Structure 1
Amino acid sequence: MTSADAAGSQDPGPFYHGTKADLRPGDLLEPGYSSNFGERRTANFVYLTATLDAATWGAELAVGAEPGRIYVVEPTGPIEDDPNLTDKKFPGNPTRSYRTREPIRVLSEVRDWEGHPPHVLQAMRDHLDELRRLGVEAIND
């Protein structure tokens, strides 16, 4: 079964997940843990993307002092467009960002990714700080 078949998505992948967690092939990422973003509420979803750039943001912006990591993952159930990035901010889904209530399985680690330039990363952090100051939280329902 391909990732697209398992996901029920038209996007063939491959799919990525950016984080600071140290994971191994076969590990499952599941909802129900503290979110890496905002007020760190319990996440009802696990997020994945079909672009290395979006995964890079996830790896760079995740909470924690550990180095960012990007994993190739496969969804084990249906995925849907991430409403935090689609329709509200970007019509359609140009970032190819998704979420699922089902686990995603780690297949391998991407080791040769390149982070954003420091000034671009700082601008994104400043933007996220402003959203937090305004009380804007990720859609979690």
Structure 2
Amino acid sequence: MTEALDKGPFFHGTIADLRVGDFLTAGYRSNYRPEVVMNHIYFTSLVDGAGLAAQIAAELTKGGAVPRVYIVEPTGAFENDPNVTDKKFPGNPTRSYRSSAPLKIIGEITDWTRLTPEALQLWRERLIALPSHERGEIIN
């Protein structure tokens, strides 16, 4: 396990409506590739990175889902996200992590940078053009 660069705070972007004290756990279907059950829960120390993930998840569900960003606390060991650090960005500049242990919700952030309508439209077009098996890679 590679040593993680950050000690927090950490954030998770999602469309789930959660409360302080709830836990995010692995073992659920991916927001980006519903055919994949996730072995890890992913998070970042960049609030706007979590916001981007939340907005893309909301776009993919196409049902008026509300993107949300939560402050989370890892309950166990975590590592740099190897999908990013080993493949695309050595050194983890995206400050992305994963854990097989739950993340505890300790708050919600409402003041994060949302995509402009123009940028959101570009994401929509990009997502529509991708085969479903490639949509999970777009976050990385």
Q: TM-score range by the shorter chain?
A: 0.7 to 0.9
Residue matched to 1:100: 99
Distance in 2, Cα, partners of 1:136 & 1:113: 27
Identify which of 24, 31, 42 aligns with 2:19: 24
Indicate whether 1:35 and 2:34 are aligned: no
Tell me which protein shows more helix as a share of its residues: 2
Give the number of aligned pairs.
Answer: 131
Identify which of 113, 133, 136 aligns with 2:134: 136
Deviations 1:7-41 (A, max 9, x none): x7441210000001100001000011111112441
Structure 2 length normalisation: TM-score? 0.81
Deviations 1:99-139 (A, max 9, x none): 11110000000022230112223333444444436x43648
Distance in 1, Cα, partners of 2:129 & 2:74: 32
Distance in 1, Cα, partners of 2:29 & 2:78: 20
Indicate whether 1:121 and 2:100 are aligned: no
% same residue: 46
- For structure 1, the residue ranges without an aligned partner over 5 or more in a row are 1-7
Q: Residues 80 and 92 of structure 2 are in contact (CA less than 8 Å); yes or no, is this contact kept in structure 1?
A: yes
Aligned structure 1 segments of 4 or more residues deviating by more than 6 angstroms: none
Structure 1 length normalisation: TM-score? 0.81
Distance in 1, Cα, partners of 2:113 & 2:104: 23
Q: Residues 5 and 95 of structure 2 are in contact (CA less than 8 Å); yes or no, is this contact kept in structure 1?
A: no
Over 3 Å counting, the alpha-carbon distance change for 1:99 and 1:132 in structure 2 is farther
Q: Residues 84 and 138 of structure 1 are in contact (CA less than 8 Å); yes or no, is this contact kept in structure 2?
A: no
Deviations 1:26-61 (A, max 9, x none): 100001111111244111110100001210111101
Residue matched to 1:60: 55
